[in-house]
Amino acid sequence: MESTKLNLQRNFFSENENVILESGNFWASTFVFKSGVCGLRIKNEKGEMTILPYQGQQIWHASFCGKELVMKSTFSEPVPTTDYLATYGGFLLHCGATAMGSPSENDKHPLHGELPNMQYEEAYIELGEDDNGRYIIVGGKAHYCIGFKMNYNAEPQIKLYETETVASVSMTITNLRCQPMEYMYLCHINFHPVDGSRLVYSAPADAEHIKVHHNVPANMPANKAAALSEYMVNIAETPELHNVIDPTYQIYDPEIVFTVKYNSDDDGNAHCMQLMPDGDAFYVAFQPSQLPYGVRWISRTGDEDALGMVLPATAEHKGYTYSKENGDIRLIDGGKSVTLNVTVGYLDSENAMRVNNMIKGLI
């Protein structure tokens, strides 16, 4: 079926929000944050997303059916920088591709690599229709090149159907060199945690499938460090303790990171939900054949409140050297591409119950 593509230009963006597209239940507008970062807002029948078309193609904000999905942070808007933590508060960030995770003392790469705030030369909106209905796509292209080492294109897409509350997000990496290219990737999805919610995911809640990374910052006060360490030991021994979001006994200050080994359905998809007290859910699906590690990151400091219930990834979060030693660095042959896919968004109570029952059958 035919589609229509609109290539975005920087002169489309100004301090005043301007509608640049209206089609049926789709609506798109451009604006500039006070910081100077360009923003693109897209809406469908059920909700909206704000995307940074030229800075990492991040999804900065998302809401569906009146529910805010994104974490709480100290940033009210994005900042024009490539420093990962100097502009941290977005809903979805692409991480990688030459390296990913927290660099060790043997690593030279920045935190989570060059992709999160990479500057994009091209950005576009596409409208079309397929067997699943009418859709809108936001995408772009960035080129990353280091002489004699690395030369690749990054081409992400966000696809949203007219009446849906979940989006299909992909990242295509094309190796432009003749030699194979090493790559790493993590999709950093930062939901807002809702107290009383239950984590439902296609993995047994046992020590074989859930690993707690016992990392207590050295500069923490002794009493806080002891409490955090004790909680980590408890959930490592009894992982189901962390399945219900309950701040009365849980400690995620500054953070706890897990690695979860997921089971897949017949279509190769793994599933994870934050099932909320009113019956609806925040949702992620991915393919472990592409992204074998389900990293879980939770941070509840008072200033930050984030539930990275699953960050689909090619490796754990410990940087290039650790991943190289563990055989988790992947390769793209010269001139070839790889595409990595994640589904993310919101489920109403009816769809949440359907997915909940399906997950039960996988564990």
Tens digit of each residue's pLDDT (9 = 90 or more) over 69-90: 999 999 999 999 999 999 999 9
Q: How far apart are CA 189 and CA 309, in angstroms?
A: 8
Q: Which of 233, 237, 216, 234 is nearest to 225 (CA)?
A: 216
The DSSP secondary structure of 287-339, one letter per residue, reads -TTT--EEEEEEEE-SS-EEEEEEEEESS-SS-HHHHHHTT--EEE-TT-EEE
**pTM score, whole prediction:** 0.97
Query: What stretch of H or E contains 133?
Result: strand 133-146
Domain count for the chain? 1
The CATH code of the domain that includes 259 is: 2.70.98.10
262 neighbors 269 (Cβ within 8 angstroms):
no
Phi/psi of residue 230, nearest 5 degrees = -65, -40
| Cα–Cα distance for residue pair 263/268, rounded to 1 Å | 9
Q: pLDDT tens-digit profile of 147-172? A: 999 999 999 999 999 999 999 999 99
Q: Which residues of the chain fall below pLDDT 50?
A: none
Q: Can you say how many angstroms the Cα of residue 354 is from the centroid of all Cα atoms in its chain?
A: 23
- Residue 2: the pLDDT is 74
**Which distant-in-sequence residues (6+ apart) come within 8 Å of 17 by Cβ?**
29, 30, 31, 41
Residue range(s) defining the domain that contains residue 49: 3-360
Predicted local distance difference test score (pLDDT) of residue 1: 62
What pLDDT is stored for residue 21 in this prediction? 95
Q: Which residue has the tokens 């007219």?
A: 162
Output the pLDDT for position 195: 98
**Which tokens in the block code for residue 122?**
């091209």
Distance CA 27, CA 49 (A): 11
Please give the pLDDT value at position 237: 96
